[in-house]
Amino acid sequence: MGVRNQLHILIVDDMSTSRGLITQAMDELGIANYDTENDGRSALARLAARPVHLVISDYNMPGMNGLELLAALRQHKSTQRIGFILITGRAERELLEKGQKLGMNNYLAKPFSTPQMKACIERVVGPL
């Protein structure tokens, strides 16, 4: 049984279209164990109750953006080791440096393709 079958992912994005594109990529990659949340606060509550292996989060969300979610995850023992990929339409150096300081594992610029998503995930968890 490969990583692809064991991996549990939480996808966090406030835009249903963007969530759909990410979940479509998961389906195309054969990753079946994923859930979605539409904001950082509900994702944080869900992860505190039941951690996953990897979070794929949009940056630009109301209330709690992707980096604020990452910072909150890194502050709690039960969630601090969760892999974290930030998806953003503005992959600016300053934003990426801040993410790296907070413990971001990787990032993916929008728009992305399924092969790009696969490569991004594999850099965090190993070959699918």
For 17-29, what is the mean pLDDT?
Answer: 97
- Note down the domain range covering 85: 3-122
Does residue 128 sit within a domain?
no
Does residue 127 sit within a domain?
no
Give CA separation, 103 vs 26, 85, 98, in Å. Answer: 23, 10, 9
Q: How many structural domains does the chain have?
A: 1
Does residue 97 sit within a domain?
yes
> Three-state SS for 55?
strand
Does residue 65 sit within a domain?
yes
pLDDT at 9 over 90: yes
Residues linked to residue 108 through DSSP beta bridges, in sequence order = 87
Does residue 102 sit within a domain?
yes
pLDDT of residue 2: 73
pLDDT at 1 over 60: no
> How big is the CA angle at 8 (ends 5 and 10), to the nearest 5 degrees?
145
Token pair of 27 as six digits: 């389906």
CATH number of the domain bearing residue 58: 3.40.50.2300
Write the pLDDT tens digit of every residue in 76-99: 999 999 999 999 998 899 999 999
